[in-house]
Amino acid sequence: MAKKVTKKVVTQAPPDKNKYKGKGALDAFLNLLSLISLGWTSWAIGAIAFELIYRYVEMQSKVANINIYSDQGIKYAIASLLVIGPVYFLAVNLLHRRYKTDELNHNSGIYRWLTYLMLLASALSIVGSLIALIASFLNGDYSLSIVLDILVIMVIALFIFGYYFYDLKRSDYKKIDRVSAIVGGVVVVAMIVAVIFGFLNVETPAKTRARLLDSRTENALSSLVMSVANDYSINKKVPNQISNLAEWVSPSKDISVVGITYRQIDNQNFELCADFNLAAATKYNVATDMPWGGHPAGHACYNFDANQALNRYYGTKIDNGMASPVVTPAAPVNVIATTTATTTATTTKNK
pLDDT at 270 over 50: yes
Show Cβ contacts of residue 108 under 8 Å, excluding neighbours closer than 6 positions.
Answer: 20, 24, 27
Stated pTM of the model: 0.68
Half-sphere exposure of 326 (CA within 13 A, CB side): 16
Give the pairing of strands 322-325 and 316-319: antiparallel
Q: What is the pLDDT of residue 340?
A: 35
With 50 as the cut, is the pLDDT of residue 346 above it?
no
Backbone angles phi and psi of 322, in degrees to 5: -125, 145
Answer yes or no: is pLDDT of 327 > 80: no
The pLDDT assigned to 68 comes to 66
| pLDDT on residue 264 | 92
Print burial letters for 281-313: b (CB count within 10 Å at least 16), e (below 16): eeeeeeeeebbbebbbeebbbbbbbbbbbbbbb
pLDDT at 222 over 80: yes
Q: Is the pLDDT of residue 77 over 70?
A: yes
pLDDT (mean) for 51-71: 66
Closest CA relative to residue 334, chosen from 296, 303, 299, 294 = 303
Q: Do 27 and 104 form a contact (C-beta atoms < 8 A)?
A: yes
- pLDDT (0 to 100) of residue 115: 87
Would you say 53 and 149 are in contact if contact means Cβ atoms under 8 Å apart? yes
Q: What percentage of the chain has pLDDT greater than the value 70?
A: 77
Q: What is the mean pLDDT of the chain?
A: 79
What per-residue confidence (pLDDT) applies to 287?
52
CB 110 within 8 A of CB 30: no
pLDDT tens-digit readout, 158-189: 999 998 888 888 877 778 888 888 989 999 99
Distances (CA, A) of 336 to 200, 270, 284, 333: 38, 11, 14, 10
**Contact of 157 with 165, CB cutoff 8 Å:** no
Helix H segments across 21-64?
24-56
User: 217 pLDDT exceeds 60?
Assistant: yes
pLDDT of residue 326: 34
* Residue type (1 letter), 290: M
Residue 106: pLDDT band by 50, 70, 90 thresholds? Answer: confident
pLDDT of residue 85: 93
Least confident of 132-141, 191-200, 253-262, 333-342: 333-342
Over pLDDT 90: what percentage of the chain?
26
pLDDT of residue 311: 77
Q: Higher-confidence residue: 59 or 189?
A: 189
State how beta strands 316-319 and 261-264 pair: unpaired
Mean pLDDT, range 245-269, rounded to an integer = 88
Answer with the residue of higher pLDDT: 163 or 20: 163
